[in-house]
Structure 1
Amino acid sequence: MTKFLTLKNAIAEIVKNGDTVALEGFTHLIPFAAGHEIIRQKLRDLTLIRMTPDLIYDQLVGAGCAKKLFFSWGGNPGVGSLHRVRDAIEHSYPCALEITEHSHAAMANAYEAGAAGLPLAVFRGYIGSELPLANKDISSITCPFTGEKLAAIPSIKPDVSIIHAQKADREGNVLIEGIIGVQKEVVLSAKRSIVTVEEIVDNLEVTPNACVLPAWAIDVVAVAPQGAKPSYALGYYDRDNSYYKEWDAISRNRETFNEWLQSHVLTQGDI
């Protein structure tokens, strides 16, 4: 049965040191508030999974929460590099960071395989790529029916999945509107899940291009108004483009980042 908790209590109950954690959201509905709460609770040794790690993962890595990053593309969208991630990889600051890189298609298939309870994902991909030389988890199999050589990677099954959505009803069913990404698959693939939402409503009004996650798939719902800012939540608020531009200067320097972290996250504020 889905629990309704505060965000602070949700993170404290569901996320543990050493967990594999996937915070997903594609372009919008990125769970920034949940990521900041992980930082505030000083969780450590996390393996962070995300198809497109951006600012929230830069912040988590810079705060010392992560020991490994499992990802496809990573960067500050439209601006440049993730400087805190780069510092961790190149100089082990604030701690060493191991990385495992995949393609977008590989991770999408791996999430779907995890959601289906399968041990691996099989797909057409990595043909002519040198990434298998750097990633031991990329293999291949031969189709027993056609003889075709196909890529194969382990399915993704996080300990914890965290996503943000627009609404939940009072039974714990969740409505996601707009670009869906892999939110459905990451919730279904994980052992435990948290969904932060803008609001709780009596009834979900399903619209075109929407997805309903059933209450039985979700462990905890936490109300977090503006929980995706500076990304956007369709129907609630727009993307804060200035945040992404300002982040480049903040994150380039360890001192300015640590000052930002203290004043905007550890004291429960925002940029």
Structure 2
Amino acid sequence: MAKHLTLQEAVAELIHDGDTVAMEGFTHLIPYAAAHEIIRQRITDLTLVRMTPDVIYDQLIGAGLVRKLIFSWGGNPGVGSLHRFRDAVENGWPRPLELDEHSHAGMANRYVAGASRLPFAVLRGYRGSDLPRRTDTVSTVACPFTGEELAAVAALHPDVTVIHAQQADTKGNVQLWGLTGVQKEAVLAADRSLVTVEEIVDDLELRPGGVIIPTWVIDAVAVVPGGAHPSYAAGYSVRDNDFYRSWDSISRDREAFTAWLEENVLSGRAVSR
């Protein structure tokens, strides 16, 4: 049953040094506020999981809190590279970064296997790719019915999954809508889960295409209006395209990044809109 906590309380209770943490969201509903609280609390030695690590993980990596990244694509959407990510991989700054790279289909299937409490998932993929040579989480399995050789990917079981959603009700049930990704699967695959929301309502109004995550699989809900900025929450905010463009120059330079982090995150102030 989900508890209603402040963001500071929820992060302190649920996320610990050395945890494997998934922070999912597709184009919108990316849980930036939660990531910034992790940075403020200096929770470190994290293994981060995300299908599309973008600026949110660039910030966590640049803050020196990440030892490993499990992912299927990385970049600043519509702009270019993640420069803190690249600096960690290429130069070990501020610390070396271990990588476990997959295809999108592979990552999605790994979440599904974790949510289903299965040891692995099976799919057609990876053939002709060198990714299986770079990870111990991809193998092959023969179909017991046809003999066909298929790719097998190890299940993902994050210690904690963090997502952002539009609404939760007073009982802790959550609803998100608009462009959705693997948020539901990531929550179900995890041992613990935190959902930040735009608002609490008395009762959820069911929406076509909406995703409901029941209170009994959520550990904590925190009300954080604007908690997806600079991404957006459909129906509540719009994407801050200027920020994504400005991030390219901020993140290229170590000193500029460190100054940005101090002013906009470690000081406790929200990123300016």
TM-score scaled by structure 2?
0.98
Structure 1 runs not aligned, ≥5 long: none
Corresponding residue SS for 1:76: coil
Counterpart in the other structure of 2:128 = 128
Counterpart in the other structure of 1:160 = 160
Rounded to whole Å, the distance in 2 between the matches of 1:268 and 1:178 is 30
Q: Compute the RMSD of aligned alpha carbons.
A: 0.7
TM-score scaled by structure 1?
0.99
Percent of residue pairs identical: 62
Shift of 1:137: 1.8
Corresponding residue SS for 1:53: coil
Rounded to whole Å, the distance in 2 between the matches of 1:268 and 1:202 is 30
Counterpart in the other structure of 1:79 = 79
Shift of 1:216: 0.3
Deviation string, structure 1 residues 116-151 (Cα, Å, up to 9, x no partner): 000111111112112112222211000000111110
Corresponding residue SS for 1:238: coil
Corresponding residue SS for 1:68: strand
Counterpart in the other structure of 1:10 = 10
Rounded to whole Å, the distance in 2 between the matches of 1:180 and 1:250 is 29
Rounded to whole Å, the distance in 2 between the matches of 1:131 and 1:267 is 40
Rounded to whole Å, the distance in 2 between the matches of 1:218 and 1:261 is 30
Counterpart in the other structure of 1:214 = 214
Rounded to whole Å, the distance in 2 between the matches of 1:81 and 1:62 is 14
Corresponding residue SS for 2:203: coil
Rounded to whole Å, the distance in 2 between the matches of 1:137 and 1:154 is 5
Deviation string, structure 1 residues 62-92 (Cα, Å, up to 9, x no partner): 0011000000000000101100011111111
Deviation string, structure 1 residues 29-78 (Cα, Å, up to 9, x no partner): 00000000000000110000000000010000000110000000000001
Shift of 1:266: 0.5
Counterpart in the other structure of 1:102 = 102
Rounded to whole Å, the distance in 1 between the matches of 2:206 and 2:243 is 31
Rounded to whole Å, the distance in 1 between the matches of 2:268 and 2:55 is 17
For residues 182-261 of structure 1, the aligned pairs below 5 Å read: 182-261=182-261
> Does 2:178 correspond to 1:178?
yes
Deviation string, structure 1 residues 244-271 (Cα, Å, up to 9, x no partner): 0000000000000000000000012214
Rounded to whole Å, the distance in 1 between the matches of 2:46 and 2:138 is 22
Rounded to whole Å, the distance in 2 between the matches of 1:158 and 1:131 is 21
Letter in structure 1 aligned against 2:235 = G
Rounded to whole Å, the distance in 2 between the matches of 1:200 and 1:74 is 33
Rounded to whole Å, the distance in 1 between the matches of 2:56 and 2:126 is 28
Corresponding residue SS for 1:139: strand
> Does 2:40 correspond to 1:45?
no
Counterpart in the other structure of 2:20 = 20
Poorly superposed stretches of 4+, deviation over 2 Å: none
Rounded to whole Å, the distance in 1 between the matches of 2:11 and 2:135 is 31
